[in-house]
Amino acid sequence: MSTTQTSKIEIIKAATTKINEVDFENLSFGSVFTDHLFECDFKNGEWQKPVIKPYAPFLLDPSTRVFHYGQAIFEGMKAYKDEDDAIWLFRPDENYKRFNKSAVRMAMQEVPEDIFMSGLKELLQLDEAWIKRGKGNSMYIRPFMIATGTGVIANPSDDYKFMIILSPVSAYYAGEVKVLIAEHYSRAANGGIGAAKAAGNYAAQFYPTSLANKQGFQQVIWTDDATHTKLEEAGTMNVFFRINDTLFTAPVSERILDGVTRKTLLELAKSEGINVDVRPVLVSELVEASKNGSLKEIFGAGTAAVVSPISGFSYQDVYYELPKNENSMALQLKDKLTNIQNKLAEDTFGWTVKV
C-alpha cells in the first residue's frame, strides 16, 4: 500500500488489484466491489479527513447505534464510460440532494457537497479500469451513511461514517415481472420515512414481498396504508401505468421516494410528445382499465433496473395479464434513457456530468 495525498483526500492504494478475478460477462448485481472505497467519519462534532483506501471490512462495537436504532441511509447511482473512456455521472446532484434529505429525516448529519462529490469522483478515477464501456454496462455507486456512536439508548448518534463503495454491473434483466398489489401490508406511513432512502424501509418490505414471491409474484406494488386504494411504488422502483396513450404515475409525497429515473422519464416522455399525467392512480381504475382493454403497460423505473416492464398484476386474487405491445413506451423510453446515459446519443438535457 502506498499513501499519497491529493487535494484534501488521503489516498491509500491497494497493493494488488482483484480485477482479474472478476468475470465481467457474468456479474450478479451488487455482489462484486472494486479495489477501493471512500470513507469520511463525522466525529467530535466535525467531519474528519476523508480517505480512499483498499476495500476491506471495518470494526464496529456491538453497541453501535446502527445495529440497535437503525440510523442508516443510502443512495444508488451509476457512472458510465463513453467510447473515449471518459467517465460520466447521471444527475449526481439529484442523488446528493436526496441523500441529505434522507439524512435530515433520519436525524443524521448532512454530508458536505465537497466530500460527497470529490470523494465520488476521485474514487471513480482510481478504480476506472472497473468501469466498462457499452450499453447496459455501468458502475453502480453506493454512497451510504451509518450511525457509529455507541450505547444502547434510543437517541440519535453523535458519530457517523459516510462511505462510498463501487460495484460494476451489466444490463439488468429481471426476467418476467408479475406484481401483487398490496391489500394489507404497506411500505410507509403518513408522516413516516417513506420518502427517505432509509435502510429500515427496505427490511420492512422483505416479509410481505416473500409472501408475494411464494404466490409467484416477483414484486409488490404498495398502496397507501390507510385505504389501500391508491397505487404508490414498488420495492426499489417508482411505477408508471399506460392507459391508452397516456402515462400515469403517482405524485411524490412523504410516503413515496422521489426517484431520479421517474423524474427523468417524465421529462423524456414529454420531449417525445407522450401525454403524461401525474396524479394519484387508483387500484380500481387499473382494474377497470385492464378489463376494458385500455391498460396497455405497467413498468417500474429506478436506477438499478432502469425501466422494468411488468407483465401482469394480481389484485384480490384475480390476475390481470397485460397485452404484448408492439410499440412499448417502456422500451422506447428505456432506449432513449440508456443512450443518453451511455453517451450514445446527445444529451440535450444537461443530465450527464463528466468526472
Ligand X SMILES: Cc1ncc(COP(=O)(O)O)c(C=O)c1O
Site for ligand X contains 308 (CB under 6 A): no
CB of 152 vs a copy of itself, minimal distance in Å: 4
Task: Report the DSSP beta bridge partners of residue 105.
Answer: none
Site for ligand X contains 238 (CB under 6 A): yes
Contacts of 295 (CB under 8 A, 6+ apart): 241, 242, 243, 286, 289, 320, 322
Site for ligand X contains 259 (CB under 6 A): yes
Supply φ then ψ for residue 331, to 5 degrees.
-70, -35
Contact criterion met (CB below 8 Å) for 319 and 264: no
Q: Binding partner of residue 175 among a copy of itself, ligand X, none, CB under 5 to 8 Å per kind?
A: none
Site for a copy of itself contains 107 (CB under 8 A): yes
Task: Report the DSSP beta bridge partners of residue 299.
Answer: 240, 309
Stretch that binds ligand X, among 8-16, 57-65, 232-240, 269-277 (CB under 6 A): 232-240
CB of 273 vs a copy of itself, minimal distance in Å: 34
CB of 200 vs ligand X, minimal distance in Å: 12
Contacts of 52 (CB under 8 A, 6+ apart): 9, 10, 11, 12, 36, 37, 38, 39, 119, 122, 123, 126
CA distance 207 to 209: 5
CB atoms within 10 A of CB 19: 14
Binding mask 8-47 for a copy of itself (x = CB under 8 A): ---------------------xxx-x---x----------
CB of 199 vs ligand X, minimal distance in Å: 11
State which of positions 166-195 bind a copy of itself (CB under 8 A): 167, 182, 184-193
**Residue from 34, 138, 167, 236 in contact with ligand X (CB under 6 A):** 236
Contacts of 98 (CB under 8 A, 6+ apart): 75, 197, 258, 260
Instruction: Rank residues 143 and 259 by Cβ distance to ligand X and give the closer one.
Output: 259
Helix (H) or strand (E) holding 209: helix 199-214
CA atoms within 13 A on the CB side of 67: 10
Contact criterion met (CB below 8 Å) for 171 and 206: no
Stretch that binds a copy of itself, among 85-93, 101-109, 245-253, 289-297 (CB under 8 A): 101-109
> C-alpha cell of 69?
436504532
Instruction: Rank residues 136 and 192 by Cβ distance to a copy of itself and give the closer one.
Output: 192
CA atoms within 13 A on the CB side of 121: 19
Supply φ then ψ for residue 192, to 5 degrees.
-100, -150
State which of positions 261-320 bind a copy of itself (CB under 8 A): none
Which residues sit at the interface with a copy of itself, rule CB under 8 A?
A: 29-31, 33, 37, 55, 57-63, 66-72, 74, 76, 104-107, 140, 142, 144, 146-147, 150-156, 163, 165, 167, 182, 184-193, 198-208, 210, 225-226, 228, 235-236
Which residues sit at the interface with ligand X, rule CB under 6 A?
A: 76, 197, 233, 236-238, 257, 259-262, 301-303
